[in-house]
Amino acid sequence: MTQSPSTPFISSPEEVAALREDLSREGKKLVLTNGVFDILHVGHVRYLNEARTLGDALVVAINGDESVRELKGPGRPVNTASDRAEMLRALRCVDLVVVFEDRRATAIIDAIRPHIYTKGGDYSPESLIDEEKALLDRLGIEIRILALVPGQSTSATLAKLSGEDTRGRRIAILGSGRGSNARAILEAAAAGSLGGEVAAIFSDTKGAGILEVASEFGVPGLLLDPGTEKKGRLTDASLKELADRLLALGIDLVVCAGFMRVLRDPVLSRFRGRILNLHPSLLPRHPGLNPVAKTLAAGDRETGCTVHLVDSGVDTGKILRQERVPVLENDSLESLTSRIHEAEHRLYPDVIAEQLSHLP
C-alpha cells in the first residue's frame, strides 16, 4: 500500500508509526490528511496550516503517481510524488509525508491510525465513502472537515497557467430527478474549483428536486416542455426551443445530470463536443435505462460511473472518465445506487472542470 521511501522527503510507515507512538505517549495528537497536492497553491497552504492546528503533528498522505493518473487523467500529476513530497515537507506545518498507491485512502488510514483525520470542505462526513467512514468510526478517529478557500484549486491554477480565462465560462445543467449531482456541481462552482459558473438549470419535470436545488443556490431553474408524453423523447419543437434558450444564455458547456430524454439536433449540432452526460455504470456495459438493476441482475462484481460526450446514440459517446465501484455481496438497489452516487459526486465536477479548462 505504501511505497518504500525513495527520497529523504517520503517517510516510511515505520517512521510514521514511531511518530504516532511518541505523540500518544505524551498525550498528544496526530493529524492525518490525504490528497494529490500536485501544484501547491495558497488554498493548500491555508488548509494544511489549519489541519496542523487541530493536533500536535501533521502527516500528509499523497497519492502515488499511478493513482493520480487514474484519478485525474493522463496529464497528471504535473509533479512526481517525490517532488510533491519535497514541496510539502518544506512547509512548517507538515511533519511527515507518506505515499500511497491505492485510489482510496482507507488502507493508509488503517496503517497510520491518526487521532484526527481531515478532509477538504467539498466533503461532508456523509459524503465520505462508506468504507472510509466505517473504518474511522471503528477506530474512533475524529473526522474534521475544513473549508476550502474559494477560487483556489489546482484546476483553476492549471487553467490560469494555460492562459485561458475560464471565469466567464457558462454551464447549463439538464436534469429530470432529485439533482444530487447538480448540487455537487454547484458546490464545486461555489468553492471556485469548477472554473465556470452554472448559468441555468433546465428540467423537463415539473416539481423535480433539481429545480429546488437551483433555487437554493440562486440559479435560474427553467422548465422545458418536452412536447410529448413519450418517455425519453423531446419533440423537434422542444429541441429547437432548448437550443435557442441555451444559445441565448451564452452557454459554453451543457451538462446532463440525470436528464432522462435523448438529445438530438439542433442541440447536438450547436453544441458538438460540448455536451456531457453522466451514467451510473461502466459504459459500454449497461447503457440505457435501469443500469444499476441490470448490474445486480447480471451478477457483476464491479460497476461504477462514466462521464462521456453526448452523441446521437444512447450512452454511446466518447468516454472521458470513469470511476469504479465494487458490488458488495449484500448490495440492494438502494445501497449500490447510493455508493455510485458518492462516486459520481466526486467524478463529475472534476471532469467538468477539466473540460472547461480545455475549451477553445
Q: Which residues participate in catalysis according to the annotation?
A: 279
Q: How far is the CB of 180 from ligand GAR (least distance, A)?
A: 3
155 vs 322 by CB, closer to ligand GAR: 322
* Residue 354 amino acid letter: E
179 binds ligand GAR (CB under 6 A): yes
**Toward ligand GAR, which CB reaches closer, 156 or 353?**
353
Q: Which of 121, 150, 177, 192 binds ligand GAR (CB under 6 A)?
A: 177
Q: Which is nearer to ligand GAR, 19 or 173 (CB)?
A: 173
Q: Around Cβ 130, how many Cβ atoms within 10 Å?
A: 12
Is 30 in a helix, a strand, or coil? strand
Of residues 325-354, which lie at the interface with ligand GAR (CB under 6 A)? 341, 344
Contact 179, 208 (CB under 8 A): yes
Stretch that binds ligand GAR, among 89-97, 175-183, 294-302, 326-334 (CB under 6 A): 175-183
**Among residue numbers 210 through 239, which ones bind ligand GAR (CB under 6 A)?**
210
Among 11, 34, 166, 180, binds ligand GAR (CB under 6 A): 180
DSSP-derived secondary structure for 280-332: SS-TTSS-SS-HHHHHHHHT-SEEEEEEEE--SSSS-SPEEEEEEEEPPTT--
178 binds ligand GAR (CB under 6 A): yes
**Interaction of residue 303 with ligand GAR, rule CB under 6 A:** no
Which residue stretch of 23-31, 32-40, 158-166, 170-178 sits at the interface with ligand GAR (rule: CB under 6 A)?
A: 170-178
Chain positions 254 to 283 lying near ligand GAR, rule: CB under 6 A, are 257-258, 278-280
Q: Is 304 in the site for ligand GAR (CB under 6 A)?
A: no
Q: Which is nearer to ligand GAR, 106 or 176 (CB)?
A: 176
Amino acid letter, 335: S
Q: Which of these, 271, 354, 276, 281, lies nearest to 309 by C-alpha position?
A: 276
Distance CA 9, CA 7 (A): 5
**CA distances (Å), 192 to each of 12, 167, 180, 276, in order?**
35, 9, 19, 20
CA pair distance 98, 93, nearest whole angstrom: 15
* Residue (159 or 278) nearer to ligand GAR, CB: 278
CA 60 to chain centre: 20
Check residue 175 for interaction with ligand GAR (CB under 6 A): yes
Q: Cα-flanking dihedrals φ and ψ of residue 120, to 5°? A: -75, 160
How many residues bind ligand GAR (CB under 6 A)? The answer is 15
The interface region with ligand GAR, picked from 24-32, 80-88, 177-185, 350-358 by CB under 6 A, is 177-185
Helix (H, G, I), strand (E, B), or coil: what is residue 275? strand
Task: Find the residue with minimal CB distance to ligand GAR.
Answer: 258
Q: Which is nearer to ligand GAR, 115 or 339 (CB)?
A: 339
Cell (9 digits) for 295: 448490474
How far CA 47 is from CA of 147, 171, 172, 275, in Å, comes to 8, 28, 31, 34
Q: Are strands 197-203 and 116-120 parallel, antiparallel or unpaired?
A: unpaired
Residues that bind ligand GAR (CB under 6 A): 175, 177-181, 210, 257-258, 278-280, 305, 341, 344
